[in-house]
DNA sequence: TCTTTGTTTAGACATAGTCTAAGCTAGGAT
DNA sequence: ATCCTAGCTTAGACTATGTCTAAACAAAGA
């Protein structure tokens, strides 16, 4: 049912009931939740679930490379279950709405060798910002 | 002396002694400090400076568009005084070292119209990640 | 069954940032 | 010069987000 659960199991990671609920909550949504939003929604299915377990589990899924941690606003991190599928993010400066978007090409190729300062560059993420249709009308 | 101060004054923004110290601390460094790091350094020149003033001042400079707020790690925001000069950031996944870098072209052009979801897209920032020379050796 | 290892829990703790109420300062009006 | 006002600064309380700890719990293997 949950593809994220399948991917997690491949790491020989024990799928406990708590972890399954958290993974399915993450994957079942099309917005990127904060840890507390995941806790709130997961608790509808498993009321005794603790905050510490949600934080632990999310951090472990990030460490396994199956979930991306997004930190755009400096307030709270958000979690993106599509770690395998290259995409970027478009954020509304008015209301904070976030969309996944796909750009043409690979940003790493746009960084010249003499701008790399000897780094081994492995990833690149683009954050687009603007105003969504609703917030353009409101302005 | 401080170009940032000049830019801020153009907004009819009162340059108090506190604000000058904060602006010069920001601009005088080549790394991007957190608010608390700025407080610590600014206090060497003005020991009675308060934390609230540093936070207020940084937020106002961001609102004026003269300083960029960077939120990459979800821990604490960092502040970049070069808001006028288009550049991106390269971060070491080992030690957190951050460098300003310049990519070829404008990332906004790489986002197709049908991926914009009706947004008016105004800005794009690329975050490159990898390992710096020191952390490659350590690995 | 017993043991071992890993998981979950509640709550204490830590960190980053905001808010509030009071006092202070600079500049304009008199 | 003195007063007034608006805006600035301050200390500390408060909030939000996340981590840590110690104990209880659960599952798998001997």
User: CATH number, domain at B30?
Assistant: 1.10.10.10
pLDDT of residue A68: 94
User: If you average pLDDT over residues A97-119, what whole number do you get?
Assistant: 94
- My answer on whether B69 and B92 are in the same domain is no
- My answer on whether A51 and A109 are in the same domain is no
Sign of the C-alpha dihedral computed for residues B76, B73, A91 and B4 taken in this order? positive
Nucleotide nearest to B77 (CA to C1'): C16
* Closest approach of A76 to chain B, Cα-based (Å): 7
Domain count across chain A: 2
pLDDT tens digit string along B86-139? 899 999 988 888 999 999 999 999 999 999 999 999 999 999 999 999 888 775
Confirm if A69 and B74 have CB atoms less than 8 A apart.
yes
Q: DSSP character for B34?
A: B
- Taking Cα atoms as reference points, which of B76, B121, B84, B98 lies closest to residue A73? B76
CB contact under 8 A, B90 and A117: yes
pLDDT of residue A82: 86
**A55 CB less than 7 Å from any atom of strand D:** yes
- Answer yes or no: is pLDDT of B13 > 90: yes
- Give me the DSSP letters along A4-64: HHHHHHTTT----HHHHHHHHHHHT-SS--BHHHHHHHHHHH-TT--HHHHHHHHHHHHHT
- My answer on whether A99 and A119 are in the same domain is yes
- Answer yes or no: is pLDDT of A2 > 80: no
User: If you average pLDDT over residues B70-94, what whole number do you get?
Assistant: 90
- My answer on whether A18 and A43 are in the same domain is yes
- My answer on whether B57 and B117 are in the same domain is no
pLDDT tens digit string along A10-40? 999 999 999 999 999 999 888 999 999 999 9
- My answer on whether A17 and A42 are in the same domain is yes
- Answer yes or no: is pLDDT of B4 > 60: yes
Q: What percent of chain A has pLDDT over 90?
A: 81
- My answer on whether B51 and B10 are in the same domain is yes
B17 phi and psi angles, rounded to 5 deg: -55, -40
- My answer on whether A61 and A103 are in the same domain is no
pLDDT of residue B138: 72
Confirm if A57 and A24 have CB atoms less than 8 A apart.
no
**According to the 3-state scheme, what is the secondary structure of B4-32?**
HHHHHHCCCCCCCHHHHHHHHHHHCCCCC
- Answer yes or no: is pLDDT of B1 > 70: no
Nucleotide nearest to A75 (CA to C1'): D17
pLDDT of residue A85: 84
Residue labelled with tokens 């400090």: B33
Alpha-carbon distance of A97 to A68, in angstroms, equals: 18
pLDDT of residue A139: 60
pLDDT of residue A83: 80
Alpha-carbon distance of B46 to B40, in angstroms, equals: 10
- My answer on whether A73 and A111 are in the same domain is no
Does the CB of A123 have a partner CB in chain B at under 8 Å? Answer: yes
Chain centroid to CA B103:
18
User: If you average pLDDT over residues A46-66, what whole number do you get?
Assistant: 96
- Radius of gyration from C-alpha coordinates of chain B: 17
């Amino acid at each position: 049912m949950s593809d994220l659960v399948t991917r997690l199991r491949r790491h020989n990671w024990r799928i406990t009931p708590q972890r399954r609920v958290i993974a399915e909550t993450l994957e079942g949504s099309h917005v990127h939740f904060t840890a507390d939003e995941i806790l709130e929604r997961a608790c509808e299915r498993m009321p005794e679930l603790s905050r510490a377990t949600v934080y632990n589990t999310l951090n472990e899924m990030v460490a396994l490379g199956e979930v991306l941690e997004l930190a755009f606003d400096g307030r709270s991190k958000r979690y993106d279950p599509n770690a395998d599928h290259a995409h970027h993010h478009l954020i509304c400066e008015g209301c904070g709405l976030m969309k996944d978007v796909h750009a043409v090409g690979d940003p790493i190729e746009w960084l010249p060798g003499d701008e790399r300062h000897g780094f081994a560059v492995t990833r690149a993420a683009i954050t687009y910002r603007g105003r969504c249709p609703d917030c353009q009308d409101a302005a």
